[in-house]
Amino acid sequence: MSQTNLYLGVDLGTQSIKASVLKGSLESENLEIVCNHSVDYDKQLSQYKTEGGVHRSTTNAGEVTVPTNMWLEALEILLSELKSIHNIDLSKIVAVSGSGQQHGSVYWKTNFATNKLTDSRDQGTGALSSTFKDCFIRDSPIWMDSSTTIECIELEKFVGGKHQLKKLTGSTAHERFTGPQIFKFYKHSDEHAMKQCERISLVSSFIATIFLGQYAPIDLSDGSGMNLLDVNTCHWSHPCLSAIVDQLEHDEQTLISQLGKEIVPSCQVLGTVSRLFQQQFGFSSKCQVVACSGDNPNSANFTLRQHGDLCISLGTSHTIFGHQSSMNPNVPLEGHYFLSTIYDPTDQENPNNVDRFLSLLCFKNGGLARKFFCDKYCKGDWSKWTEMLAQQYQQRSALPEMIGLYYQFPEITPHTAHHLGYYRFQKHGEKYELLPAETHVEPAVDILALVESQYLALKAHAEAVGLLSNKDRSVIVTGGASENRILMQILADVFNCDVYVAPENQNSAAIGAACRAFYGTVKTKGSNYFDVVSKKLAKLQLVAQASEKSKLYTQELTSTYRSLEKQVLDHMFMHH
C-alpha cells in the first residue's frame, strides 16, 4: 500500500462539525494527522439562527433541538473546504467514518427519504444539502434536551426500577438518552404521524446513512446511549421497547424496523460511498464507509492508548472514561457503561473484547466553577488564580483543611436534580464540619478546596463504578485545563499516577473517527486495536508525575469525601 492512503473522520458536534484527515497504512510506522478543519454552525450557517449550534425552545421547558438540514449543509461546506482550503484530494480517501454527539436522533420521512437515499446512491446527480433537504419529519432532539423526566420515570418503573434498567442497558434513565426521547415522540404522535416516520437514526448513524446512500445500522457503542439496547445480549431490549409501545398500544415490530433490527460492531465496514459523494466531492467509488459512533467513544479511540488507560476531559464540564471488562456487580447508579468501539462479539479471537465497556461519568460543574472562582477572587486573571493555587498547594503537608462541594448547575454525578449550592467543610481535628454558607474563607483556601474536591469527586465516583481497579494506570487529560501545570500536578497526586496530554486533543473525536476508518478496513480476525492503531499515533506528552504529596490522598480521604457528599445530598433532598 502506498503512503498516500488517506482516512477521513467527521465529527458532527454540538457547536461545529469537524474533519480530521490521517495518512498512513498498515505497513507505515506512523498514522500522521494531515489536517483538521471545522465549520462553526452559528457563524457559517447563521440563517438557521442557532445559539451554540442549537435551538432552545421558549415554549416547551427543557427542549433543545437542531434543524437536521443544518447538519447536511455543514457537512457539505466541510468537505468543500477540505478541498479548497487544505487541498485535500478526496479521491485518495480510502475510508471514512464519523462521530456524532451522543444520544441525539433523526426522524426520516416515509418513502420520500428512501427514494432520496436510493437516488443518491445510484444516480447522485443532485447536491448533498438539496437532495436530503425535505427528508425529515421534525427537528432533531439532542443531548442537551432535558424534557423527558416523565418518560424516564415511566421507563424505569416498567422494567422494574433503576437498578434493573442499569443492569439491562448500562445506564439508569436519563432525559437526554434516545429511548426516553423516542418515548416522548411516540406519545405526541398520532397513528398518522407514526406512519410518517420510516426510520430513526442516531446522529452517528445519520452520518453513515448520508455517506452510504442507504440506511446505516446503529453501532453497539453509540447504541448503548439510548436506554434501549441490552448490553448483555447486544440486541434491542424487549422490556425497554415494550415500555414505549405497550402503553401506547403500538407494535414492537414497527419500533424495531424504525430503529433497524441489526446493531453492528463499531469498527465494521458498512459499504462504499454513494455516487453523490463521488460526483459532488470527487470521492473514489472504492472509498469505504466504516460504522459511525458517538463522540465520546470516538475520542476514546484516540486518547486511550492501552488497556487500563483513563481519559479525563477538563472542559466546561468534566468527563472521565476508560475501558472496563464488566459492570461493577454492585450496580452503582452513577455513570454509564457503553459497549466499547473495540469490542466485537462477532470475533471470538478479538483480544480487545476484555475491554468490553467504555465506562463514562459526566460532571456538569467543571471548568465553569473554576472560572466563577477566578472571576470572584482574581477578576478573571488566570495567572493570578494559578499563582494562588500553586502557593496554597505548596504548603499542603497534611489532609486538606477544607473540602468544598460546588453545584452551580444541577449536577449529573451525583444526581442533585434541581438542587444547587456551595457546601464547604472545615477540618476540625479528625472531622470535617459544615461551615455556614456566609462564612468568610481565604480566597486561596477556597480555590484549592474547589480543585481538590472536584478531583476527589472524579476519583470517588470512578472508583464506585470500577474504573480504578487497574492500579497500573495512566491518566490522559484533554480540554482547556490540560495546559495548566499546577492543575495537572494536583491531578497526578490525587490519582497517584502519571498524567499525559494528547496532541491536538480538541479534535480527538474526529481523529478517533479517522482512526476507526483506518482500523475497520485493515483489521483481520484477532487484530489488536492498540497494536494496529494506537502505536502509530503521535506520542502522548508526559506533563506531571505523582509527587510526595500523593501520599496525602489516601483511601480514607476518598471515603471521607463520599460521606460528605452523602451528607450534602441528604440535606438537599430533606429540605426541599
Q: In this structure, how many other beta carbons lie within 10 angstroms of the beta carbon of residue 2?
A: 8
Per the listing, cell 482574581 goes with: 378
DSSP string computed for 345-412: TT-TT-GGGGG-EEEEEEESSSHHHHHHHHHHHHTT-HHHHHHHHHHHHHH--SS-SEEEEEESS--T
173 versus 444: smaller Cβ distance to ligand XUL: 173
102 versus 201: smaller Cβ distance to ligand XUL: 102
Residue 295 interacts with ligand XUL (CB under 6 A): yes or no:
yes
- Residues in contact with ligand XUL, counted by CB under 6 A, come to a total of 10
DSSP string computed for 327-344: --TT--SSSEEEEPTT--
143 versus 425: smaller Cβ distance to ligand XUL: 143
Select from 34-42, 66-74, 294-302, 345-353 the region that touches ligand XUL (CB under 6 A).
294-302
14 versus 558: smaller Cβ distance to ligand XUL: 14
Give the shortest CB-125-to-ligand XUL separation in angstroms. Answer: 35
121, 420, 424, 452 from 373: Cα distances, Å? 54, 16, 14, 14
Give the shortest CB-143-to-ligand XUL separation in angstroms. Answer: 4
Select from 188-196, 290-298, 461-469, 541-549 the region that touches ligand XUL (CB under 6 A).
290-298
DSSP, collapsed to helix, strand or coil, labels residue 194 as helix
Select from 2-10, 59-67, 291-299, 483-491 the region that touches ligand XUL (CB under 6 A).
291-299
CA-angle at 220, arms to 215 and 223, nearest 5° = 70
Q: Which residues contact 206 (CB under 8 A, 6 or more apart)?
A: 12, 68, 71, 100, 106
Interacting positions 159-178 with ligand XUL (CB under 6 A):
176
Interacting positions 359-388 with ligand XUL (CB under 6 A):
362
Select from 98-106, 182-190, 470-478, 558-566 the region that touches ligand XUL (CB under 6 A).
98-106
Residue 293 interacts with ligand XUL (CB under 6 A): yes or no:
no
Distance separating alpha carbons of residues 155 and 184, to the nearest angstrom: 11
Q: What share of the chain is helix, strand, coil (3-state, %, to 5)?
A: 40, 20, 35
102 versus 105: smaller Cβ distance to ligand XUL: 102
Site string for ligand XUL, 314-353 (x = CB under 6 A): ----------------------------------------
240 versus 403: smaller Cβ distance to ligand XUL: 240
DSSP state of 111: T
Give the shortest CB-436-to-ligand XUL separation in angstroms. Answer: 36
Q: Which residues contact 330 (CB under 8 A, 6 or more apart)?
A: none
Interacting positions 426-485 with ligand XUL (CB under 6 A):
none
Select from 95-103, 133-141, 147-155, 481-489 the region that touches ligand XUL (CB under 6 A).
95-103
175 versus 493: smaller Cβ distance to ligand XUL: 175
Can you tell me which of 37, 103, 305, 459 binds ligand XUL, judged by CB under 6 A? 103
Give the shortest CB-296-to-ligand XUL separation in angstroms. Answer: 5
477 versus 490: smaller Cβ distance to ligand XUL: 477
Give the shortest CB-379-to-ligand XUL separation in angstroms. Answer: 31
170: left (phi over 0), alpha (psi -120 to 50) or beta: left
Distance separating alpha carbons of residues 363 and 131, to the nearest angstrom: 40
Residue 199 interacts with ligand XUL (CB under 6 A): yes or no:
no
Give the shortest CB-78-to-ligand XUL separation in angstroms. Answer: 18
Can you tell me which of 36, 97, 99, 101 binds ligand XUL, judged by CB under 6 A? 101
Select from 228-236, 293-301, 433-441, 460-468 the region that touches ligand XUL (CB under 6 A).
293-301
120 versus 296: smaller Cβ distance to ligand XUL: 296
Interacting positions 128-157 with ligand XUL (CB under 6 A):
143
Residue 296 interacts with ligand XUL (CB under 6 A): yes or no:
yes
What angle separates helix 149-159 from helix 178-187, to the nearest 10 degrees?
Answer: 100
- Cell triple for 214: 442507504
- Give me the helices (H) in 213-358, please: 220-223, 238-245, 252-259, 275-281, 295-303
Nearest C-alpha neighbor of 212 from the set 161, 301, 265, 273: 273
Contact 31, 536 (CB under 8 A): yes
273 versus 467: smaller Cβ distance to ligand XUL: 467
DSSP, collapsed to helix, strand or coil, labels residue 293 as strand
101 versus 341: smaller Cβ distance to ligand XUL: 101
Give φ, ψ of 164 to 5 degrees: -65, -45
Q: Is the dihedral of CA 409, 415, 417, 421 positive or negative?
A: negative
327 versus 568: smaller Cβ distance to ligand XUL: 327
Give the shortest CB-102-to-ligand XUL separation in angstroms. Answer: 3
Nearest C-alpha neighbor of 297 from the set 499, 98, 542: 98
39 versus 522: smaller Cβ distance to ligand XUL: 39
Alpha carbon 495 to chain centroid, angstroms: 22
13 versus 124: smaller Cβ distance to ligand XUL: 13
Distance separating alpha carbons of residues 98 and 19, to the nearest angstrom: 9
Can you tell me which of 50, 65, 99, 102 binds ligand XUL, judged by CB under 6 A? 102
Residue 41 interacts with ligand XUL (CB under 6 A): yes or no:
no
DSSP, collapsed to helix, strand or coil, labels residue 92 as helix
Give the shortest CB-491-to-ligand XUL separation in angstroms. Answer: 20
Contact 292, 207 (CB under 8 A): yes
Radius of gyration of the CA atoms of the chain, in A: 24
Per the listing, cell 449543509 goes with: 73
Residue number, nearest CB to ligand XUL: 102
Interacting positions 2-21 with ligand XUL (CB under 6 A):
14
Q: Is the dihedral of CA 326, 103, 147, 138 positive or negative?
A: negative
Q: Which residues in this chain contact ligand XUL in the complex, by CB under 6 A?
A: 14, 101-103, 143, 176, 294-296, 362
